[in-house]
A and B are shown apart, each in its own frame.
Chain A
Amino acid sequence: MSNATVVVVTSGKGGVGKTTSTAAIASALAKEGYQVCAVDFDVGLRNLDLIMGAERRVVFDLVNVVRGEASIKQALVRDKKLDNLFLLPASQTRDKDALTEEGVASVINELRMYFDWVICDSPAGIERGATLAMRYADEAIIVSNPEVSSVRDCDRIIGLLDAKTKVAEDGERMPKHLLITRYDVERAKAGDMLATDDVVDILSVPLIGVVPESKDVLKASNVGVPVTVSDENSPAAKAYTEATRRLLGENIPVTIPEEKKSLLGKFFKGRAA
């Protein structure tokens, strides 16, 4: 039996790339051979199913499971490409109040038995959905764009991670990783964007990766295949794969995206599992 590491992908602000990052990292972990479950906590506005290309196969959801209307195994949707990757979808028709703390605890505890990694996609905001998504996490990936309002909201989320989670209440420190997404190489070069070092300094959270703004990410969403699977040589996919290796404990330096030519020029074969 597995004893999963539960990771929450969170940010406070919407639109920074939580769902995209959840899908990309969950897929990258599955490609490494781990049993992985991605859980969508955005009850009422689910989208992880769409980004993972599973939207046509969703029957039951997290709320059904929390309410005992379906078992977890019934609700899990297996990925079409990676058979060790599963999705537990959010409900589209109910609201966030349909989740209870006890219900979420029991779902997470059961998932811990079946999987090596459980990746929880938090909704935006700091309310019930977001606090429940982080509540039982062992580690947090904080997603920020190099932009002032996003960084400010991340700071708020860090406060919640250190106060409202089970780990924090048990007197432990929640391990946190900062993932900077939508990093625009041109604007960084022109000095028009917060530098990654500045974001790290302000938030005091170690950097796990810097994902460049990329049309490959949009294309991946269009076709419903996470970018780490659809286009593994794209700069964004490489950044996610690198972040995943760091999540797995590898001590490798963070690549700061550079001019597109130099990155595309290098051929990078996917790592063996």
Chain B
Amino acid sequence: MNILSFFGKRDESASVAKNRLQILLAHERADDGSDALLISSLREDILAVVAKRVDIDPDSVRLEMDRTGDVTTLGIDIELPAARAS
């Protein structure tokens, strides 16, 4: 959500709601489970690459998606063991 639009136009929360629903429903109507599959596959690939160099816990690799109107971003968060990270 956009904090500026929230505080700037307090009386227009309905338009924020409409916008959020449009993005969400467009995505849900088209959803065929491919996002989850993509994330799973990417996660495994990334895990394999990182594991070649660093000894990591498989749970410490997090992939996050964020969908906006036209763009979907992918965030990768890898927690390195303390000894390696320093």
- Spell out A's residues near B (CB within 8 Å): 50, 53, 55-57, 59-60, 64, 69-71, 73-74, 77, 80, 92-93, 218-219, 221-225, 230
Contact = CB atoms under 8 A, between A and B. Distances in A.
Contacts of A221: 17
Interface in B23-43: 23-24, 27-28, 31, 33, 35-36, 39-40, 43
B63 to A, nearest CB: 8
A59 B39 contact: yes
Contact of A71 (B13, B24, B33, B59): B59
B70 interface: no
A57 B31 CA distance: 14
B51 interface: no
Which of B28, B33, B40 is the most central at the interface, judged by chain A CB atoms within 10 Å of its CB? B40
A124 B23 CA distance: 26
B20 A93 contact: no
A55 B20 contact: yes
A55 B36 CA distance: 14
Given A92-B28, A219-B13, A225-B6, A56 B23 contact: yes
Given A57-B64, A64-B36, A74 B1 contact: no
B66 to A, nearest CB: 5
Given A50-B24, A53-B1, A222-B13, A59 B33 contact: no
25 contacts: A50-B20, A50-B24, A55-B20, A55-B24, A56-B24, A56-B67, A56-B68, A59-B63, A60-B36, A60-B39, A64-B36, A69-B36, A69-B40, A70-B36, A71-B59, A74-B43, A74-B62, A74-B63, A218-B13, A222-B14, A222-B17, A223-B6, A224-B16, A224-B20, A230-B6
A56 B66 contact: yes
Nearest to B23: A56
Contacts of A71: 59
Nearest to B35: A59
B28 to A, nearest CB: 6
Nearest to A57: B66
How would you classify the secondary structure of chain B's contact residues: helix, strand, loop or mixed?
helix
Nearest to B33: A93
A232 to B, nearest CB: 13
B46 interface: no
B50 interface: no
A223 B31 contact: no
Contacts of A92: 28, 31
Contacts of B20: 50, 55, 222, 224
B65 A225 contact: no
Q: Pick the most buried of A55, A60, A218, A225: most chain B CB atoms within 10 A of its CB.
A: A55
A222 B66 contact: no
A215 to B, nearest CB: 9
Contacts of B31: 92-93
Contacts of B65: 56-57, 59
A93 B63 CA distance: 21
